[in-house]
């Protein structure tokens, strides 16, 4: 039998977790705050899984890349794509445990990841969720008791987990630069940013948040923040706000929770991007994935119409499908490059084939870079910020 209890919190986030741990509870703690849901699963008082409702499958893939990168292990793209498609339109709590947990179990069953790595991935997801949850000051919750049988992938000592999360939050809050979110994005655009000694920073500070910088550089997010802290505090590095989906998460410093919109931005004008693809679904994904606070997208399905749109809009960047009717992407790229006004405009070729031959052809016809379909929001944003300096 499933019992549900709901009330406005009179406990702190820490006290609430400790209460269920001390009672040896088994079931799902579902928390709501600021249009975001946290899902924390207990088994006899220990947390065995946790996630929250912002891009759960994208974050699962992120943590898998972080763990598997050290062993150079790769998951078959076809299997990952199939598992992703199965979650389209599905809420995180439509299954018990949640569908991201089921996805992880499917990958383990298919021998795509080891038991040890599954435990590491799950632990990282739990810690990210708990660290964000502990920052909440107001929330409502349900606890759904559920003792059904299911494969238990990971069991975590709650006391140890809570201690680690609190220590990590303390490390972030002790930064001199007053970083207000795990998901802020450091960029070199402050005073003295053009000094030659900061050129090396520009190579990897391309609009990624601290977590993704950690993935790219093989270090923890807090270690990246600590290393950049003096430059942020001195104004050499500025902090962009989190991307739109993360902006509602609680802030590390209480004073920022009432100032969600008072953040520095690259420019007062939005960056203009023309995206050309004969598939309306791809165009819609690009439009949805790019933050409207910073980007203005112009979608075109026809290659002939694309030329007129490019000349009219004068975009900062062009995303171009290789395989289009009438005029292929490579030919269109060559035509655009023939116009002096677009000699240095970043042109990103987008295609379903990632072969070296196709990449070489795109480069030959003038493409700046190459993005393979299907792409995630993270992959698109990393590509865009890598080449934009407006």
How many other CB atoms sit within 10 Å of the CB of residue 337? Answer: 16
**β partners of residue 371:** 350
Contact 146, 28 (CB under 8 A): yes
Distance of alpha carbon 206 from alpha carbon 384, whole angstroms: 8
Distance of alpha carbon 216 from alpha carbon 66, whole angstroms: 9
Contact 80, 61 (CB under 8 A): yes
136-177 pLDDT per residue, tens: 988 999 999 987 778 888 777 888 999 999 999 999 999 988
Q: Identify which of 73-82, 247-256, 258-267, 357-366 has the greatest average pLDDT.
A: 357-366
Percent of the chain with pLDDT over 70: 86
If DSSP states are collapsed to H, E and C, what string results for 209-263?
A: CHHHHHHHHCCCHHHHHHHHHHHHHHCCEEEECCCHHHCCCCCCCHHHCCCCCCC
Q: What string of DSSP letters covers 19-63? A: HHHHTT--EEEEEEETTEEEEEEEETTEEEEEEESSSHHHHHHHH
- Judge whether residue 37 has pLDDT over 90: yes
pTM of the model: 0.66
Peptide bond connecting 97 to the previous residue in cis, omega within 30 degrees of 0: yes
What tokens appear for 162 in the block?
């809570």
- Mean pLDDT for the stretch of residues 347-357: 85
Kindly list the structural domains of the chain, giving each domain's residue range(s) and its CATH number in brackets, ordered by start.
Answer: 4-169 (no CATH), 175-256 (no CATH), 271-387 (3.40.50.2300)
């Amino acid at each position: 039998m499933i019992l549900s209890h709901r009330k406005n919190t009179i406990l702190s986030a820490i006290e609430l977790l400790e209460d269920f741990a001390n009672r040896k509870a088994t079931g799902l703690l579902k928390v709501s705050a600021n249009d975001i849901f946290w899902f924390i699963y207990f088994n006899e008082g220990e947390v065995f899984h946790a996630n929250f409702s912002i891009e759960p499958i994208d974050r699962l893939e992120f943590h898998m890349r972080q763990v598997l990168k050290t062993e150079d292990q790769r998951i078959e793209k076809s299997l990952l794509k199939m598992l992703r498609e199965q979650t389209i339109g599905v809420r995180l709590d439509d299954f018990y445990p949640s569908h991201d947990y089921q996805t992880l179990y499917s990958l383990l069953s298919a021998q795509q990841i080891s038991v040890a790595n599954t435990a590491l991935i799950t632990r990282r997801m739990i810690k990210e969720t708990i660290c964000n949850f502990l920052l909440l000051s107001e929330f409502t919750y349900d606890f759904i008791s559920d003792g059904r049988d299911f494969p238990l992938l990971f069991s975590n000592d709650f006391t140890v987990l809570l201690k680690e999360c609190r220590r990590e939050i303390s490390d972030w809050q002790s930064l001199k630069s007053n970083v207000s979110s795990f998901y802020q994005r450091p960029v070199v655009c402050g005073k003295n940013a053009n000094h030659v000694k900061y050129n090396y920073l520009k190579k990897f500070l391309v609009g990624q948040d601290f977590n993704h910088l950690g993935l790219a550089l093989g270090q923890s997010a807090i270690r990246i923040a600590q290393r950049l802290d003096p430059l942020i505090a001195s104004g050499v590095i500025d902090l962009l706000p989190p991307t739109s989906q993360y902006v509602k998460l609680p802030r590390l410093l209480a004073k920022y929770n009432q100032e969600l919109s008072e953040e520095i931005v690259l420019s007062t004008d939005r960056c203009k991007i023309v995206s050309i693809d004969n598939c309306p679904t791809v165009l819609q994904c690009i439009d949805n994935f790019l933050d409207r606070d910073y980007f203005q997208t112009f979608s075109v399905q026809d290659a002939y119409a694309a030329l007129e749109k490019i000349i009219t809009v004068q975009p900062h960047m062009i995303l171009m499908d290789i395989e289009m009717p009438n005029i292929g992407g490579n030919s269109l790229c060559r035509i655009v490059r023939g116009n002096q006004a677009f000699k240095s405009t970043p042109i990103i070729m987008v295609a379903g084939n990632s072969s070296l031959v196709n990449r070489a052809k795109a480069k030959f016809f003038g493409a700046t870079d190459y993005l393979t379909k299907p792409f995630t929001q993270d992959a698109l944003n990393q590509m865009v910020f890598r080449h934009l300096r407006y």
